[in-house]
Chain A
């Protein structure tokens, strides 16, 4: 049995995983990163638009700060997020971006003087301040009050990931590439690493560690059409679920991005609309102002996606052999802007659609994009049930996004979570010793070996590629943008059948080394379980919140549903996961639930909401003259690692 020991094992080499590894290494721990692919190819690289941090250097970000970013994030989440986490996040994000700047990200900068921008379809001249010249600039994104999304042209994720991986290389952090964690090792509700399959040799290796961090990204590929990379299959989430101990949070919270190209589902960044692009229907008519007169194309993603779907259902979509779509018009931005700030978009249009977006409209429709759900963790990033298991980034339900994530808050989260969780991982490693018995390691190793052998010796059985395609179709058709009880019930039943069938997978290519069919056979049963968590969670949540939109329960119901779904799979032979719920405590919220300001507000309120609002007023009255930092502490004191506690400086206002 091959065993590799380390202090801090990180599964996933994207932005979140690398940042956790860097934090571990900075604290003198032995650290190993496992990755399916070379780290620089991780899905983080695909983030085009940018990262939200309230630097407030551009004139259109004037007046921005942590409070405004916090309010946007909480509203965006439809009050489903953990406000402690959102608060930590907004306070740390400016530090994250500045650190990345020192580490080499060539963030686009403010240029003093006049420049022409497109706002609400009109060309407008804005004047950047002299004193802001050379500081990190920002663009507009959906659901935000200020221009807060910092960017590098439209390659923000790429430059961030390159800077982060370069930093990891500088520090000598080993990244073990083409390795897949297929099971966690645990004993007495403590996690001690993972059983890992080498994707080239097929060898199983036990990576034994004090702390294990899962940073494997989202589960977008449960859906047939997704903007996600093909490796975003949720396997990190699944191995946590399969412990029977760790829980997943809010798996039904799945975001659809308004503008992926048709048919292949590749993303065109929200920056297209942030920079002034418009959505048009088959008549060339700009329809979003009719639905959302205030934020128009820049309403929150879940809102825009639903409005687009509604509009297509009215027969206003453009029909194509791949189904209906709408147009994204960026022609009004002009060639110079597109070739500089939206170049990836231009390349994608040229290569995949054969069109020039400077001259022609882009065919788009809402497409699966982001997984708000994931491994449930405390604010420290640690699983509340399985000690020593941490998670960060999209893989986690740290719960910064609740039921809808704001554009620009995902890459921001990866880095910020990496910083914060990384410190807690290091604390954990310092305080705990490695106490796992060899027989436990052997038990998990044997178990995985047996599963693989069983697959390899089976003569007849299910085709894993077909099972996956069936699952993806069910998710697409029945657990999509708009959901209803009938479809969800069917989805849950059909997935149960798939789960049973997945126990009898057989291969045509029966070798244990490098073998894509075996990879699929190992992953697909895990993916089906995750799909069941999503579908079942969606079926039971009889309200609409953020991206979870029930046609049969259109109102947000704080009274009964201001809670987080927790999913576990305790009994391996069961054909459904177990769901429980965790209440969100309104009495601790800095921002009690209110209206997001879209459409009709039909919220069923929580009985505590009024009480908390009154209490907040009383606290404010009792403490006249306190500044925003003191007030925040009075309303909801939270713990932030010492390193990241400080206030953030901005031009024109210092540290105020």
Chain B
């Protein structure tokens, strides 16, 4: 890390739909770089020192919660863990994540989208006995490898980077997208979920589901958690094809 201070140039998308007459525009802010500076630190600095109206979302600021995905120099990523030193010329262009309802500036409503996705894929264990389980007794056993594999697919933080990077989603507004496929793959793998392949087919066996995917794999390229989207989409597609 260089100790030499440089001036960063942020170009930031500004638009507040709540404000009458406001128009979308790009605004430039200059900021002295500090060692170890992340986009989280930079944006807060800009808000506190230069423009208190600037909207953005951070929660954990540690790359864990998925709140802060935005488009940084053309690429969707988690802003909180993006170091400004990654950008050699010191120019950083920030846009809100496309594919989601805009709240204002860099803030988008991923929560609404993800709740709808969870409802659509029925993102829970389907087992009539799950509520009747006697929790005084030993839990149902699970193969340790299976538990590890489920966790691998459950690491998704619902940041929305995959949705924003998906060309199919642009063409098909109701396309389920990689985040939904990953969730389905996670439950399909889980022996506690008693859904049959036919039931999964009802959820994803059409062009807004797994058959619509054009395999451009923006999801795979931009997933900040490096989830195996390509493999899982292929796996689900094969599983669905075998049904009918």
Contact = CB atoms under 8 A, between A and B. Distances in A.
Given A46-B60, A102-B135, A230-B60, 18 more contacts: A38-B114, A38-B115, A43-B65, A98-B133, A104-B190, A109-B141, A134-B143, A170-B122, A175-B115, A229-B60, A348-B63, A351-B82, A465-B47, A509-B52, A511-B18, A513-B16, A514-B104, A516-B52
Nearest to B57: A37
Contact of A41 (B59, B104, B135, B142): B59
A517 B18 CA distance: 15
Contacts of A97: 139
Contact of A516 (B47, B114, B118): B47
Interface string A632-656: 0000000000000011111100010
A581 to B, nearest CB: 36
B147 A106 contact: yes
Contacts of B87: none
Going nearest first, the 10 A-B pairs with the smallest beta carbon separation are A38-B111, A134-B141, A517-B52, A106-B150, A513-B18, A351-B81, A509-B53, A109-B144, A98-B135, A646-B136
Contacts of A94: 135
Given A41-B65, A102-B130, A155-B155, A229 B144 contact: no
A143 B133 CA distance: 32
Interface string A227-268: 001110000000000000000000000000000000110110
B19 interface: yes
A516 B104 CA distance: 11
Given A153-B151, A177-B111, A516-B55, A101 B61 contact: no
29 contacts: A37-B57, A38-B111, A40-B66, A45-B60, A95-B135, A95-B136, A98-B133, A102-B139, A106-B147, A106-B154, A108-B147, A110-B144, A133-B144, A136-B139, A155-B155, A169-B123, A200-B18, A229-B61, A264-B38, A348-B63, A351-B83, A509-B52, A513-B19, A514-B103, A515-B53, A517-B47, A517-B53, A651-B138, A655-B136
Interface residues of B, number: 65
A598 interface: no
B179 to A, nearest CB: 12
Contacts of B148: 106, 108, 153, 340
B19 A264 contact: no
B52 A507 contact: yes
Nearest to A134: B141
Interface residues of A, number: 80
Interface stretch (A158-166, A181-189, A421-429, A482-490): A158-166
Contacts of B60: 41, 43, 45-46, 229-230
A159 B151 contact: yes
A313 interface: no
Nearest to B122: A170
Given A104-B192, A230-B58, A647-B136, A351 B63 contact: yes
Interface in A305-325: 321
Most chain A CB inside 10 Å of its own CB: which residue of B1, B61, B193:
B61
Given A109-B142, A514-B104, A648 B111 contact: no
B156 to A, nearest CB: 9
B19 A103 contact: no
Nearest to A350: B81
A37 B141 contact: no
Contacts of B199: none
A260 B138 CA distance: 36
Nearest to A98: B135
B124 A229 contact: no
B151 A152 contact: yes
Interface of A: 37-43, 45-46, 94-99, 101-104, 106-111, 133-137, 152-153, 155, 158-159, 162, 165-167, 169-170, 175, 177-178, 200-202, 229-231, 263-264, 266-267, 321, 340, 344, 347-348, 351-352, 354, 465, 507-509, 511, 513-517, 520, 646-651, 655
B88 interface: no
Given A106-B154, A109-B147, A647-B136, A229 B59 contact: yes
Interface string B27-59: 000000001101000000001100111110111
Nearest to B3: A321
Interface of B: 1, 16, 18-19, 35-36, 38, 47-48, 51-55, 57-67, 81-83, 103-104, 110-112, 114-115, 118-119, 122-125, 127, 130, 133, 135-144, 147-148, 150-151, 154-155, 157-158, 190, 192-193
Contact of A266 (B35, B62, B124, B151): B62
A651 B138 CA distance: 8
Contacts of B119: 169
Contact of A102 (B112, B125, B147): B125
Given A109-B147, A230-B61, A266-B62, A41 B67 contact: yes
A646 B58 CA distance: 42
Contact of B139 (A101, A155, A169): A101
Nearest to B133: A102
B66 A516 contact: no
Contacts of B112: 177
Contacts of B19: 511, 513
A303 to B, nearest CB: 25
A135 B141 contact: yes
A38 B61 contact: no
Nearest to A169: B118
Contacts of A99: 133, 135
A175 B150 CA distance: 26
A266 B61 contact: yes
Contacts of A517: 47, 52-53
A635 B48 CA distance: 56
A465 B47 CA distance: 9
Contacts of A42: 59, 65
A352 B36 contact: yes
Given A133-B141, A509-B53, A231 B154 contact: no
Contact of B81 (A177, A352, A511, A648): A352
Contacts of A169: 115, 118-119, 123-124
Given A40-B114, A516-B54, A104 B151 contact: no
B84 to A, nearest CB: 12
Nearest to B58: A230
Contacts of A267: 62
B96 to A, nearest CB: 13
Most chain B CB inside 10 Å of its own CB: which residue of A41, A108, A159:
A41
A321 to B, nearest CB: 7
A158 B62 contact: no
Contacts of A201: 18
Most chain B CB inside 10 Å of its own CB: which residue of A104, A178, A508:
A104
B144 A134 contact: yes
Contacts of B137: 98, 649
A431 to B, nearest CB: 25
